[in-house]
Structure 1
């Protein structure tokens, strides 16, 4: 029996494809066979770090391997990003980033010519956190209508705080300005605790805030939440109205989602296994209960869903950065 060169080539390619697929599946079935490192730009003790430690503990039991946390805060996230970029694309080094590291950094650091999703692939989602408008408990503002009216009456006079240029607190306020036509002044803080201490005393009139970052001051009776920047109230704060209910723009949503990414080149089967296993861990009742204390919404997005949501945020952030002439270069 004889075969034409074309038939032989076709057969060889088919065998090669089968071997590659079999090898990838075997690699995923064997994953992980050594410790996995989760690199994070968030400081130890922060909300995202606390979640990552819970997830790492559950994954280590599921995988029967150590799952290590490598905190690399600072540099706008680039210290952690650069550390993870140097790792082999084998699934044994993953990177925890929030949606701002993914979607805002490319607009804020134009000179770096760095687009996060050109270097990393989304692998698994963890959670999404909503943000509230926080004021001093002694503030004369009772709702968003009062805040907006005060800003309209005194352009560029009202100060709002945030935990950094390009943070959700900064970009969320930029979006509020764009939707209402008001103009305010931004006061970025290095320390989140200092930010909310100053909001509590009234030195800074208002700021966006998450529950874990502001609950200490809130429970001390020094903070009040005017609204949640979301379309629905949340069970953890049922008495806090939505942005629309408080007299603010109904379309204003301020939130951040946190995901795990991998250096580009990780086999698809390995990424699929990580995604499935993280989703399994996130569904654990113990983790769900801890998420509830933070008002974190657990997410079980596919990599494609993470990318779509990041692209949507990138479009919004790009417009806000251009409008506000914001740069971290």
Structure 2
């Protein structure tokens, strides 16, 4: 009798475990706040291909840039919380926008639930290849002159590059002139031609211009050197502020109300995809650092960076209607 009861219990556990597995019976749609062909978009498609092979269902990446992420997020947030609708976003959408938009059409905490971190990437201090600033200390010395403030740029007012640069400006104890551009390509073209003195850039966004001898990286705003460009010193190694970083990250989110077991299963599937050698090689080519782990790490990053940027915004006044 006890044997029969034991076997029945095992069968129940096995049945429950099988029911808990996320196995979509129809296509999975991943909306993206990023334009087609951008680094995050490429990563999303690489991961989607792996998920499609795992689940046996189409996994479609739908690029919907615009509205500071609102177009993609609002198009997904009201979907049924089954795991079939996801969205790829970054630190700006989750931690910065709630601080700078007077009327934000979505609430990252009320409308979304973290699923998985896709990657982190650090920003480098980029100057023109023929810039007179040969080292980061040269840049610091020039920034100390009050008569002719240095000009730095960003691709969006209130974005990670703008606010990250403002943090560095404060840490250096200087005042510089911020020049915003509409597109990333315009920003780095302005650095390369000397229209502005420097800008933060990643391997994915500015690395091509470095390899093409149009830009030069003086330092990386991280606590350790980038494996993609190990010859570039950290800010601290270059004589800059200690313990200061400028990182951005990209995550996968689901509609609020998505069951915890579904989130956990998708999280595992994404982590498994990111751990495959061909994916790791692709990510490394972009300078993206994979950080596999539970969905909680996304929630932790959201909270920590919201506090960090709130501190920056006490000095850099940014408000968008």
TM-score over 0.5 for the pair: yes
- Aligned equivalent of 1:8: none
2:295 to 300, 303, 313: 303
**Equivalent of 2:226, from 223, 228, 234?**
234
What residue is the counterpart of 2:305 in the other structure? 313
CA contact under 8 A between 1:27 and 1:270: conserved in structure 2? Answer: no
Is structure 2 residue 106 aligned with structure 1 residue 105? no
Q: Deviations over 1:178-236 (max 9, x none)?
A: 21221111111112112111111111110000111112321221111010001111222
SS at match of 1:298: coil
CA RMSD between the two structures: 1.8
Does structure 2 retain, via aligned residues, the 8 Å contact 1:85–1:263?
Answer: yes
TM-score of the pair, normalised by structure 1: 0.89
Q: Of residues 54, 70, 90 in structure 2, which corresponds to 1:78?
A: 70
Aligned to 1:159: 151
Gaps of 5+ in 1: 1-20
Larger displacement relative to structure 2 (147-156 or 29-38): 147-156
CA contact (8 A) 1:156 1:185 kept: no
How far has the Cα of 1:158 moved from its partner? 1.2
Q: State whether residues 97 and 104 of structure 2, in contact with CA within 8 Å, keep that contact through their aligned partners in structure 1.
A: no
Relative to structure 1, the CA distance from residue 227 to residue 91 in structure 2 (aligned partners, 3 Å threshold; closer, same or farther) is same
Q: 1:24 to 1:141 in 2, by over 3 A?
A: farther
Q: Tell me the SS of whatever aligns to 1:215.
A: helix
Q: Which residue of 2 aligns with 1:285?
A: 277
The DSSP-based 3-state class of the residue aligned with 1:316 is: helix
Cα distance between partner residues in 1 of 2:138 and 2:103: 40
Q: Tell me the distance in 2 between the aligned counterparts of 1:88 and 1:155.
A: 58
Residue pairs, 1:1-329, within 5 angstroms: 27-29=19-21, 31-112=23-104, 114-154=106-146, 157-329=149-321
Q: Aligned partners of 2:148, 2:49: CA distance in 1, in Å?
A: 48
The CA deviation at 1:151 is 1.7
For 1:52 and 1:30, locate their aligned partners in 2 and report how far apart those are by CA, in whole Å. 19
TM-score normalised according to structure 2 size: 0.92
Aligned length in residues: 309
TM-superposed CA distance for 1:115, in Å, is 3.4
- The change in CA–CA distance for 1:88 and 1:113 in structure 2 (over 3 A counts) is closer
Alpha-carbon distance in 1 for matches of 2:16, 2:248: 33
Conserved 8 A contact 2:153-2:179: yes
Contact 1:108 1:327 in 2 (8 A): yes
Unaligned 5+ segments in structure 2 are: 1-12
SS at match of 1:208: strand
Q: Cα distance 1:201–1:85, how it changes in 2: closer, same or farther (>3 A)?
A: same
Contact 2:22-2:265 within 8 A present in 1 as well: no
